[in-house]
A and B are shown apart, each in its own frame.
Chain A
Amino acid sequence: MIKKLASCWRRYSQVILGGGLFLLIVLMAVFAPLIATHDPGAYAMREALQEPGPAHLCGTDAFGRDVFSRIVYGARISLTIALAVLVVCGALGTVLGLLSGYYRWAEATIMRLMDGLMAFPSILLALVILTVFGSGIQNIILALSISYLPRVVRTIRGAVISVKEYEHVEAARAMGASDARIIFKYILPLCVSPLIIRLTLIMALTVLSESSLTFLGVGLSPEIPSWGNILSEGRQYITTSPYLITLPGLAIVLAVLSLNTLGDGLRDLLDPRLK
């Protein structure tokens, strides 16, 4: 019994821990109005730059705004952006990756396009897109999705090209399976692990890039309390009030960590050899 429980725990621990932590962050975002102790946008110049304490759990920033409440509300913005980028990149990247890995005719067009996008550093590409289209949450999602898309496509395509040569795929062809069946039943399931790893990484990068873009002045306007915004505003006070950096930074680290753990756990769970 205990042995069984132990092996069960070993199998699911990463998913439980990572997923649990991430769920907490999501819940924090959803119930932000209930959790936040203050209005995240309320200025109170007299209470500016207070250390963390009972009145302000995470202290206040240069405008006297409550950092804890800003972090709680910031989860909404940052997670929305990260999840949206994940969905867009994941869906589009998987389809394009499968096509370009499986069909020779698709390879030339898709990969040329992706190589073109890859030629720019992704932050620069996002910067250009935001400059052209203007900032705002939707455009940030668009910009980051476009700049991370090539990595997903390459990951999937690489996996497809190697899996395509496996004999079980040849066996499926010999059974008369259609291309769609081969792609989705025989190739895609074996590309899931690299995809999960790539996507959790991209989600983490998204949280970070959003803050860089904001720092560069093309991200969200300063009133919106995204984690990136909080972080970049705090940078000026890094020597005097380091908590302005460390606490939102901690939120980002925890979110990224939970996603990576969850990703690892899911990957292992999906591998029948590790049962």
Chain B
Amino acid sequence: MDDRQKKVLLRVRGLKKWFPIHRGITSRVAGYVKAVDDVSYDVYQGETLGLVGESGCGKTTLARTSLRLLEPTAGEIQFDGQDFRALGRRELRQARKNMQIVFQDPFGSLHPKMKIGRIIEEPLIISGVKDKAARRKRVEELIVRAGLKTEHLDRYPHEFSGGQRQRVVIARALATNPKLIICDEPVSALDVSVRSQILNLLEELQESLGLTYLFISHDLSVVEHICDRVAVMYLGQMVELGTREQIYGGMLHPYTKALLSAIPLAGGEKRERIALEGDIPSPAKPPEGCRFHTRCPYVAEVCKTVPPFEDAGEGHRVACHRWRELAGTK
């Protein structure tokens, strides 16, 4: 598909989310955790965009800020052609039926005192479906679609395993026919044995319902499976964005290379292992210039300045001064 034919569902430009750090008895603002710092990306209709990066790099914050579950510090958001930041509180609540989240922790994201049926019904009630019988019918359809049975509807969340709960979360997310579903590490909290079941379910649903996913994971091998395009984040910024082939076949950023070198290739052969030095710097005090330069094995003088997030051809974007020189070194 050509970029120009694709419809942009979510367009984010220059998004920032800075959390103030309060200090002392006067709780004056001593600085900011720059959890998301100037990130721009698009999510196309019908695709799965993967978002990867180490834990704490700002993936969850980016997702929540993109949906205005957290109010952005700066930036533009367009959802389905509409200026999303211009919406008032009431309009925003109404718009929420078009975007849903599958959370990481299936134990925390279900109301412990609500029955499963009610949990799945809630988004329908909130979005204004008045007809009770119609809601019930939809709930039954959804639970079956998510791979559970209608008799499960009268039970409470604590009676289910993690995998089953995540199915309930998925059924709930589907209830209002959302245009975009954010999956925030939907399988990281699950047993390894049920992970693939949930991933398969998500893929099946995407195929049959034409869903669009923003799929967050710290695990590149999961993302390789399910995503059409992949964005790599480091310390609140995107460092590389490309199609699955561009990233897994010809990644350009040293950080992506380091992440990928940790997972074995399909044939079992090993990639050259790139070990990163040092710890992740604090997002409250990110390094000047390229944020990765303190840990990059290819650091040079030029890296003390901020690299542009430039197009390396065919929509493959990378934020590295030296990607051209390094392109040969896989």
Residue pair B109, A170 in contact (C-beta under 8 Å): yes
Q: Mark B91-120, 1 if CB is under 8 A from A, else 0.
A: 011111101110101001111110000000
Q: Which residues of B contact A185 (CB under 8 A)?
A: 111
Give B122 Cβ to nearest chain A Cβ, in Å.
Answer: 6
**Does B158 have its Cβ within 8 Å of any Cβ on chain A?**
yes
Report the Cα distance A174→B65, complex, angstroms.
12
Q: Mark A39-80, 1 if CB is under 8 A from B, else 0.
A: 000000000000000000000000000000000000000000
Q: Which residues of B contact A167 (CB under 8 A)?
A: 103, 105, 108-109
Q: Which residues of A contact B109 (CB under 8 A)?
A: 167-168, 170-171
**Does B126 have its Cβ within 8 Å of any Cβ on chain A?**
yes
Report the Cα distance A178→B112, complex, angstroms.
19
Report the Cα distance A178→B127, complex, angstroms.
11
Residue pair A176, B94 in contact (C-beta under 8 Å): yes
- Contact for B126 among A181, A270, A273, CB less than 8 A: A181
Within 8 A of A (CB), among B53-109: 67, 69, 92-97, 99-101, 103, 105, 108-109
Q: Which residues of B contact A186 (CB under 8 A)?
A: 111
Report the Cα distance A171→B92, complex, angstroms.
15
Give A275 Cβ to nearest chain B Cβ, in Å.
Answer: 8
Q: Which residues of A contact B286 (CB under 8 A)?
A: none
Report the Cα distance A189→B95, complex, angstroms.
27
**Does B307 have its Cβ within 8 Å of any Cβ on chain A?**
no
Q: Mark B255-273, 1 if CB is under 8 A from A, else 0.
A: 0000000000000000000
- Contact for B101 among A171, A270, A271, CB less than 8 A: A171
* Chain A interface SS verdict (over half): helix
Query: How many residues on A have C-beta within 8 angstroms of the other chain's C-beta atoms?
Result: 22
**Does A235 have its Cβ within 8 Å of any Cβ on chain B?**
no
Q: How many A-B residue pairs have CB under 8 A?
A: 69
Give A129 Cβ to nearest chain B Cβ, in Å.
Answer: 33
Give B192 Cβ to nearest chain A Cβ, in Å.
Answer: 22
Q: Which residues of B contact A170 (CB under 8 A)?
A: 69, 101, 103, 109
**Does A119 have its Cβ within 8 Å of any Cβ on chain B?**
no
**Does A172 have its Cβ within 8 Å of any Cβ on chain B?**
yes
**Does A272 have its Cβ within 8 Å of any Cβ on chain B?**
yes
Residue pair B67, A174 in contact (C-beta under 8 Å): yes
**Does A117 have its Cβ within 8 Å of any Cβ on chain B?**
no
Q: Which residues of A contact B96 (CB under 8 A)?
A: 174-176
With contact pairs A166-B108, A170-B109 given, residues A175 and B156 touching in the complex (Cβ less than 8 Å) = no
Q: Which residues of B contact A271 (CB under 8 A)?
A: 113
Report the Cα distance A179→B123, complex, angstroms.
15
Residue pair A168, B93 in contact (C-beta under 8 Å): no
Within 8 A of A (CB), among B115-151: 122-123, 126-127
- Contact for A168 among B95, B100, B112, CB less than 8 A: B112
Q: Which residues of B contact A178 (CB under 8 A)?
A: 93, 126
Q: Which residues of A contact B69 (CB under 8 A)?
A: 170, 173-174
Q: Mark A231-275, 1 if CB is under 8 A from B, else 0.
A: 000000000000000000000000000000000000000111101
Report the Cα distance A185→B108, complex, angstroms.
16
Report the Cα distance A175→B67, complex, angstroms.
11
Q: Which residues of A contact B169 (CB under 8 A)?
A: 171
Residue pair A168, B67 in contact (C-beta under 8 Å): no
Q: Mark B172-189, 1 if CB is under 8 A from A, else 0.
A: 100010000000000000
Residue in B69, B94, B99, B111 with the greatest tally of chain A CB atoms within 10 Å? B111
Q: Which residues of B contact A171 (CB under 8 A)?
A: 101, 103, 109-110, 169, 172
**Does A118 have its Cβ within 8 Å of any Cβ on chain B?**
no
Give B100 Cβ to nearest chain A Cβ, in Å.
Answer: 6
Give B79 Cβ to nearest chain A Cβ, in Å.
Answer: 13
User: Chain A residue with minimal CB distance to B93?
Assistant: A176
Q: Which residues of B contact A270 (CB under 8 A)?
A: 113
Give A181 Cβ to nearest chain B Cβ, in Å.
Answer: 7
Residue pair B101, A174 in contact (C-beta under 8 Å): yes
Residue in A175, A181, A185 with the greatest tally of chain B CB atoms within 10 Å? A175
- Contact for A273 among B99, B100, B158, CB less than 8 A: B158
Q: Which residues of B contact A272 (CB under 8 A)?
A: 112-113, 156, 158
Nearest 4 A/B pairs, CB to CB: A176-B96, A167-B108, A176-B93, A167-B109
Given contacts A170-B103, A172-B122, A185-B111, 14 further A-B contacts (CB under 8 A): A167-B105, A168-B109, A168-B110, A171-B109, A171-B172, A173-B69, A175-B123, A175-B172, A177-B126, A178-B93, A181-B126, A189-B111, A190-B113, A272-B112
| A-B pairs with beta carbons under 8 Å apart, 19 shown | A167-B109, A168-B111, A168-B112, A170-B69, A170-B103, A170-B109, A172-B122, A175-B100, A175-B123, A176-B94, A176-B96, A176-B123, A176-B126, A177-B93, A178-B126, A270-B113, A272-B112, A272-B158, A273-B156
